[in-house]
Amino acid sequence: MRIDVLTLFPAMFQGPLTESILQRAQEERILEIHVHDIRAFARGRHRQVDDSPYGGGAGMVMMAEPVVKAIETIASTPVPSSGGGGGVLSGGPLCVYLSPRGKRLTQPEVERLATKHEWILLLCGHYEGVDQRVIDTWIDEEISIGDYVLTGGELPAMVLIDALARQLPGVLGKEESAHEESFSKKLSRKREYPHYTRPEEFRGMRVPDILLSGNHAKIEEWRRNHLV
């Protein structure tokens, strides 16, 4: 999968993309992430990217031109398809705007995006958001990570990238498999059972006996009964 991110704050992505599973997914070439600075597509000496809103009011709005230039430049890049054979992905990326006004992100939505799209472009808003004409014409989907407002779309983009990466075949080891996690189909979309590790007793609290019994059928039954 290829993900292109459009942001005014590219440095915010450095830590999360260069650690743990996201780092490994990129090293193993299962996931390719390109972070682009929208300011690089802005005109003039000052590279202006925002302006005051028509109709008045507080805050600034991200201007259409630099964002659209960035989307058009990236979408016209020939991207090799992961199927091999030297082909390129036709049709360009699915363009997603992270927005509190968008459709709420859920595990089934993550699975849909990961299985249906090989190339996704994530637009991160800032200030009051992006000029609506960009959303109306260039954006395929608006996605929210929850009913609260963050300063920018960077953290939501990172949340989505992480959730997507976990769905890509080969990213998680067998022992970390995404199939038996909270909200997975395997767990009937419920929340996972509790986990314990050594020691058997910690400050007077014992691990449930059944988990120490070695009886796999009973352990499985206990786990099913502790989904919430």
Residue 199 preceded by cis peptide, ω within 30: yes
| Using rule CB under 6 A, residue 92 touches ligand SAM | no
| Using rule CB under 6 A, residue 66 touches ligand SAM | no
Tokens read off for 212: 């120490």
d(CA 153, CA 101) in angstroms, rounded, equals 12
Other CB atoms within a 10 A radius of the CB of residue 67 amount to 26
* Residue 170 CA: distances (Å) to CA of 112, 193, 200: 18, 24, 33
- Least Å from the CB of residue 103 to ligand SAM: 10
Of 6-14, 81-89, 107-115, 124-132: span binding ligand SAM (CB under 6 A): 124-132
| Using rule CB under 6 A, residue 99 touches ligand SAM | yes
Of 15-23, 126-134, 168-176, 196-204: span binding ligand SAM (CB under 6 A): 126-134
| Using rule CB under 6 A, residue 109 touches ligand SAM | no
| Using rule CB under 6 A, residue 54 touches ligand SAM | no
Of 6-14, 28-36, 64-72, 97-105: span binding ligand SAM (CB under 6 A): 97-105
| Residue 68: HSE in the Cβ half-sphere, 13 Å Cα cutoff | 11
Q: Degrees (nearest 5) of the Cα angle 83, 87, 92?
A: 95
> Would you tell me which residues interact with ligand SAM (CB under 6 A)?
98-101, 124-126, 128-129, 144-146, 148-153, 156
